[in-house]
Amino acid sequence: MAERGPSVEFSGSLTSSILPPPRTRIFKIIVIGDSGVGKTCLTYRFCAGKFPEKTEATIGVDFRERLDEIDGEKIKIQLWDTAGQERFRKSMVQHYYRNVHAVVFVYDVTNAASFRSLPAWIEECKQHALGTEVPRILVGNKCDLQDSIQVSTDVAQQFADSHSMPLFETSAKSPNRQGEGSYGSGNSDHVEAIFMTVAHKLKSQKPLVLSQPPGGSGGPISLSRGMSDGGDVARSWACSSC
Ligand SMILES: Nc1nc2c(ncn2[C@@H]2O[C@H](COP(=O)(O)OP(=O)(O)OP(=O)(O)O)[C@@H](O)[C@H]2O)c(=O)[nH]1
Q: How far is the CA of 55 from the centre of ligand 1 (A)?
A: 7
Q: How far is the CA of 126 from the centre of ligand 1 (A)?
A: 26
Whether residue 58 is predicted with pLDDT greater than 60 in this model: the reply is yes
Whether residue 141 is predicted with pLDDT greater than 80 in this model: the reply is yes
Whether residue 235 is predicted with pLDDT greater than 70 in this model: the reply is no
Q: How far is the CA of 20 from the centre of ligand 1 (A)?
A: 42
**What is the tens place of the pLDDT at every residue in 86-138?**
888 777 787 888 999 999 999 999 999 999 999 999 999 999 888 878 999 99
Residue 144 Cβ inside 6 Å of ligand 1? The answer reads yes
Say what the ipTM of the complex is. Answer: 0.99
Q: How far is the CA of 34 from the centre of ligand 1 (A)?
A: 10
Q: Residue 203, Cα to own-chain centre: how many angstroms? A: 12
Report the C-alpha gap between 1 and 92 in whole angstroms: 65
Ligand 1 site-directed mutation target among 34, 40, 115, most atoms within 8 Å of CB: 40
**What is the tens place of the pLDDT at every residue in 163-222?**
999 999 999 998 665 344 444 444 467 999 999 999 999 998 855 444 444 444 433 333
